[in-house]
């Protein structure tokens, strides 16, 4: 597989253990032992370790329910969350080793696949180190926290020959795949625009104070590759999404799902121009990312527009495609409706409760067994492109102007201030090395 200038690849059993080890390890160095894991072949079991047990607890259940998969480790830097996830897995007959140090999973030769569901600022670091350690990776969306990290992740997957799936699970949803196929087969004609929405009535996070972290939380390890700052009372477990050091706002949090589908259906990759409007319109609190935002991505003949509201949940729909022969709407659960040019309903299909998660995990496991990057529904190349669209929208928001981009790489042209956000600072000793 070859990588282009943006680092984008264009190549196309439940386990029951007698005991669990409960380990809390303070501190996390940036170096890992480079040990290859045994490659699973067709019909063999796939052993998995899961890092980050807020989102990861659900993923661990799905992996455990996938035939031939063993969940060996549950990892989180919060001991209370580890115990909660362990209890959840025990209800479905799974007892896993517990750890606060992700390196235990990387150093274990028995582990074939590493699942990173930690906060966004961990995605690239953990994925790169897992590839170096010979593990295949399932990494949650957005795959990176900055554009540069996505480039490095592509390079790491290529260099170490690892299979890396990004958690935009709707790409594996049967009704969504059917909808996209209908679009690509011309059911609504020449598609020239796509719109996506995410509306939610979130609460204010208020004003936090500097304090000692909870006794169960290893805050230093939680920060990992990010430069150290004091613990604040309104950051963890979820509000980190709204701080630029750790998250990517609603655009990177939920917007990436819709934008990913928009790009897929339109058949576009990287834009020529990006504009973002909005800001902090509602709550006066510690949040840094917009609570109201509209992003426009221009692909010279195709357009994606995403709108996010964090303070008003009214509104239906998720993604809509507009063609010169009709319209196709996709709901958040993957169900869709097709309308002709006279706006009459001509086809529809209901969605699924899991939104493709079960199928997405199965696709990843099947790709490992087949040793086939090409069979991934959302490989790191695809995941990087979709995350990059979100990153560019946030960069445009932060600099307060439209961006003109190189459609081959996504890099911003003749704008030094904008390109300052292409990467970020790291805690000394944590700089990624592919």
Within 13 Å of residue 420, how many CA atoms lie on the same side as its CB? 6
Write down the pLDDT at residue 98.
98
Q: How far is CA 357 from CA 67, 119, 238, 241, 330, in A?
A: 15, 19, 21, 22, 17
Write down the pLDDT at residue 316.
65
Q: How confident is the model at residue 99 (pLDDT cuts 50, 70, 90)?
A: very high
Instruction: Please determine, for residue 317, whether its predicted confidence score (pLDDT) is greater than 80.
Output: no
Backbone angles phi, psi at 279, to 5 degrees: 155, -155
Long-range contacts of 209-218 (CB under 8 A, 24+ apart): 209/233, 214/78, 214/80, 216/78, 216/79, 216/80, 216/81, 217/77, 217/78, 217/79, 217/80, 218/24, 218/25, 218/26, 218/27, 218/77, 218/78, 218/100
Length of the chain: 434
- The tens digit of pLDDT for each residue in 359-410 reads 999 999 999 999 999 999 999 999 999 999 999 999 999 999 999 999 999 9
Rounded distance between C-alpha atoms, residue 4 and residue 125, angstroms: 21
CB contact burial 23-39 (16+ within 10 A = b; e otherwise)? ebeeebebebeeeebee
Q: Is 99 helix (H, G, I), strand (E, B) or coil?
A: strand
- The tens digit of pLDDT for each residue in 328-350 reads 999 999 999 999 999 999 999 99
- The tens digit of pLDDT for each residue in 281-296 reads 999 999 999 999 999 9
In the numeric block, the tokens 């990004």 are attached to: 166
Rounded distance between C-alpha atoms, residue 375 and residue 351, angstroms: 23
E strand map for 126-272: 136-139, 164-166, 191-199
pTM: predicted TM-score of the whole model, two decimal places: 0.91
**Contact at 8 Å (CB) between 329 and 317?**
yes
* Averaged pLDDT score across all residues of the chain: 91
- Considering the chain, what percentage of its residues have pLDDT values greater than 70? 90
Write down the pLDDT at residue 315.
82
Q: How confident is the model at residue 27 (pLDDT cuts 50, 70, 90)?
A: very low
- Go through the domains of the chain in sequence order and give each one's CATH number: 22-171+360-379 (3.40.50.720), 174-205+235-354+384-419 (3.30.360.10)
Within 13 Å of residue 300, how many CA atoms lie on the same side as its CB? 8
Q: How confident is the model at residue 12 (pLDDT cuts 50, 70, 90)?
A: very low
Residue 369, token pair as written in the block: 């067994």
Write down the pLDDT at residue 353.
87
**Contact at 8 Å (CB) between 125 and 225?**
yes
Write down the pLDDT at residue 406.
98
- The tens digit of pLDDT for each residue in 268-279 reads 999 999 999 999
Give the strand pairing for 136-139 and 164-166: parallel
Within 13 Å of residue 262, how many CA atoms lie on the same side as its CB? 33
**Contact at 8 Å (CB) between 128 and 156?**
yes
Q: How confident is the model at residue 44 (pLDDT cuts 50, 70, 90)?
A: confident
Residue 205, token pair as written in the block: 């996070």
Q: What is the mean pLDDT of residues 211-223?
A: 98
Instruction: Please determine, for residue 18, whether its predicted confidence score (pLDDT) is greater than 80.
Output: no
Q: Which residue from 314, 184, 367, 374 is spatially nearest to 261, judged by alpha carbons?
A: 184
Write down the pLDDT at residue 31.
35
Instruction: Please determine, for residue 86, whether its predicted confidence score (pLDDT) is greater than 70.
Output: yes
Q: Which residue from 259, 277, 379, 392 is spatially nearest to 321, judged by alpha carbons?
A: 259
């Amino acid at each position: 597989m070859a990588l282009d200038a943006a680092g984008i690849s264009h190549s196309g059993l439940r386990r029951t253990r007698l005991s669990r080890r409960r380990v809390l390890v303070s501190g996390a160095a940036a170096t890992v032992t480079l040990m290859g894991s045994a490659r699973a072949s067709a019909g063999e079991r796939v052993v998995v370790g899961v890092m980050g047990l807020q989102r990861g607890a659900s993923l661990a259940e799905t992996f455990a329910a996938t035939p031939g998969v063993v969940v060996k480790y549950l990892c989180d830097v919060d001991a209370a969350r580890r115990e909660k996830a362990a209890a959840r897995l025990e209800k479905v007959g799974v007892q896993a080793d517990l750890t606060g140090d992700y390196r235990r999973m990387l150093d274990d030769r028995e582990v074939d696949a590493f699942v990173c569901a930690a906060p966004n600022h961990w995605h690239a670091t953990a994925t790169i180190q897992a590839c170096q350690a010979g593990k295949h990776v399932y990494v949650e969306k957005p795959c990176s926290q900055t554009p540069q990290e996505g480039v490095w992740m592509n390079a790491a997957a290529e260099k170490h020959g690892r299979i890396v799936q990004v958690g935009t699970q709707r790409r594996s949803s049967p009704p969504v795949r059917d909808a996209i196929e209908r679009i690509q087969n011309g059911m609504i004609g020449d598609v020239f625009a796509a719109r996506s929405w995410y509306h939610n009535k979130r609460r204010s996070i208020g004003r936090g104070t500097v304090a000692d972290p909870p006794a169960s939380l290893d805050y230093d390890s939680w920060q990992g590759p990010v430069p150290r700052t004091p613990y604040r009372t309104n950051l963890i477990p979820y509000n980190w999404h709204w701080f630029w050091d750790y998250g990517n706002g609603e655009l990177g949090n939920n917007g990436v799902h819709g934008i990913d589908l928009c790009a897929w259906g339109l058949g576009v990759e990287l834009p020529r121009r990006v504009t973002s409007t909005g800001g902090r319109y509602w709550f006066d609190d510690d949040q840094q990312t917009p609570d109201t935002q509209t992003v426009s991505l221009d692909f010279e003949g195709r357009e994606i527009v995403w709108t996010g509201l964090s303070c008003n949940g009214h509104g239906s729909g998720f993604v809509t495609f507009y063609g010169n022969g009709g319209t196709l709407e996709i709901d958040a659960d993957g169900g869709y409706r097709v309308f002709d040019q006279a706006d009459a309903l001509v086809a529809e299909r209901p969605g699924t409760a899991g939104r493709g998660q079960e199928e997405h995990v199965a696709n990843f496991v099947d790709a490992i067994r087949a040793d086939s990057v090409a069979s991934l529904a959302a490989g790191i190349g695809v995941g990087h492109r979709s995350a990059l669209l979100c990153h560019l929208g946030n960069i445009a928001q932060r600099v307060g102007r439209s961006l003109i981009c190189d459609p081959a790489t996504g890099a911003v042209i003749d704008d030094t201030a904008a390109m300052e956000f292409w990467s970020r600072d790291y805690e000394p000793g944590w700089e990624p090395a592919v």
